[in-house]
Amino acid sequence: MTQAADADAFVDSLVGELTRHPVNSNRFFQTFLSQRLTKSQLQEWLGQYHYFCKQFVKVLEGLLSRTPVDELEMRVQLVKTLHSELGSGRSEHAHIRLLERFATAAGLNETDLQRISPLPEVAEYLAVLHRLFIEADYLTALGAELAVEVTAAAEFRYFYPGLLRYDQFSADDLVFFELHLEAEDDHGLWLADAVRKTAQSSADLNRVATGAQTAVQAWQSFWEGIYRGVFSELNPPAIPWNN
């Protein structure tokens, strides 16, 4: 088997491992889809989720900056991902702006969002990504970003159909979630391609895998923290949000 074939098989196996990881069907996702949240529960989730999404793009920019200038294939795929995140050149279509459109419909204004303090697990996940993206070697960072994009796809298969059950939200309010049903799959394919074209040896691929496995475990903790924050005794169930 050629080196390229070995790399293809390794990447396919790693992507499969990430796709099968329990984080893709964690209890927060399942609960979100199976029951209607109260207004306070929905806003608690959304505030934390927005905080992460806004900070993540900046961390991703840091990864691009830290990628060696000669790793052109990796830089190209990162630029494509950032370009997508930032609205493909149209600021009004930047993903964070689309999420903030939904936040407005959910009763959170700009001031509300700016006042959000991250849960410990949210802050820790961002810290892990910062360490992997900015401080670790670029191949470990590449693996971490692969894990981010591959596992991000699952959440929208729960969030979008779950939110369709709320009469309060229009199709326009939910554009962020509908868009990501396909966008994250694209991002995952781009990053897998970056790995295939950047990792040149078994040692390189092992560094990629280390980054991916570290990131996905932190992502699991992130959602465990969100579950605790949204469904804890401090935020008890109440009458579902019907108006």
Which pLDDT score, from 0 to 100, does residue 147 have? 97
DSSP string, 142-192: HHHHHHHHHHHHHHHHHHHHHHTT-TT--TTTTHHHHHHHHHHHHHHHHHH
Residue 35 lies in a domain: yes
Task: Tell me the CA end-to-end span of the chain in Å, nearest whole number.
Answer: 61
CATH number of the domain that 72 lies in? 1.20.910.10
Query: Is residue 238 one of the residues assigned to a domain?
Result: no
Q: How far apart are CA 188 and CA 152, in angstroms?
A: 9
Query: Which pLDDT belongs to residue 242?
Result: 53
CB atoms within 10 A of CB 116: 19
Provide the domain count of the chain: 1
pLDDT at residue 233 in the model: 47
Q: By C-alpha distance, which of 122, 187, 121 is closest to 153? A: 187
130: nearest Cα among 27, 225, 237, 52: 52
pLDDT, tens digit only, all 243 positions of the chain:
455 667 789 999 999 999 999 999 999 999 999 999 999 999 999 999 999 999 999 999 999 999 999 999 999 999 999 999 998 888 888 999 999 999 999 999 999 999 999 999 999 999 999 999 999 999 999 999 999 999 999 999 999 999 999 999 999 999 999 999 877 778 888 999 999 999 989 999 999 999 999 999 999 999 999 999 999 844 444 445 554
Crossing angle of helices 138-163 and 27-34, rounded to 10°: 20
In a domain? residue 204: yes
Domain encompassing residue 174: 3-230
Instruction: Report the alpha-carbon distance of residue 114 to residue 116 in Å, rounded.
Output: 6
Residue 113 contacts residue 100 (beta carbons within 8 Å): yes
